[in-house]
Amino acid sequence: MTLTQVLSFNQKNVFVGRSPKNYGFSYFAKKNFKKGDIVMSGFGKILDHQTSHCSVQIDKAKHYLPQKWTGKYWNHSCDPNSYMHTRPDGFPNLIALKTIPKDSEITYSYWMSEYAWSPKADEVHVICKCGSKKCKKKILSFSQLNTRDKDHLVTKKLCEKYLCTLWNSSIKKIIKV
């Protein structure tokens, strides 16, 4: 997808507003989404490192820096209503994990894309404010999850493709030992 296509698609699907969870800005559904619908598409400048704020990991050593309409306000929830799926161009789509009613805040779990936090990442220092019954009180990365949670994400393909590959190769190493 081109930047123009991503902007057009996202602006048809979501609007920007203030998060009721005090996360700052967030995206909200302009329409009802059914489970499996593409809600938003990510796009941005490719980086070889994590930034302290707003970058999204899309491969082992690759992040992208989103703009306002390409993922900058994707907020975390420990009980998200969307998940990430890598497009052929390497960027992620947010897919509805369940029905998302019109005007609902769009959320995903950062552990669906981030393998580990750099020491300078904001998420190292902030407390999770998602307020869900499943809240882990911290914004965790994939590497900080327990084995059962990692297996669930990988088996259900609810995370970036590179995380599935990393996890499957690490399991194979353990089995061979």
pLDDT bin (cut points 50, 70, 90) of residue 177 is: very low
pLDDT bin (cut points 50, 70, 90) of residue 174 is: low
Residue boundaries of the structural domains of the chain: 3-176
Is the confidence at residue 116, as pLDDT, over 50? yes
Average pLDDT over residues 144-156: 93
Which of 123, 120, 99 lies closest to 23, judged by CA?
123
Q: For the ranges 52-56, 102-106, 154-158, which has the lowest average pLDDT?
A: 52-56
- Sorted by sequence, the CB contacts under 8 Å of residue 165 that are 6+ apart come out as none
Q: pTM for the complete prediction?
A: 0.90
In this prediction, residue 100 carries a pLDDT of 98
CATH 2.170.270.10 fits 3-176, yes or no: yes
Is the confidence at residue 170, as pLDDT, over 80? no
Strand ranges in 52-131 using DSSP code E only, listed in sequence order: 56-59, 62-66, 75-76, 82-86, 92-96, 107-108
- pLDDT tens digits along 34-53: 999 999 999 999 998 888 88
The whole-angstrom separation of Cα 105 and Cα 56 is 19
Residue-averaged pLDDT of the chain: 91
pLDDT bin (cut points 50, 70, 90) of residue 176 is: low
Work out whether strand 56-59 and strand 75-76 pair parallel, antiparallel, or are unpaired. unpaired
- Sorted by sequence, the CB contacts under 8 Å of residue 67 that are 6+ apart come out as 44
- pLDDT tens digits along 54-92: 889 999 999 999 999 999 999 999 999 999 988 999 999
In this prediction, residue 163 carries a pLDDT of 93
Long-range own/partner contacts, residues 3-10 (CB < 8 A, 24 or more apart): 3/43, 3/70, 5/41, 6/41, 6/42, 6/43, 6/69, 6/70, 7/69, 7/70, 9/38, 9/40, 9/41, 10/40, 10/41, 10/69, 10/70
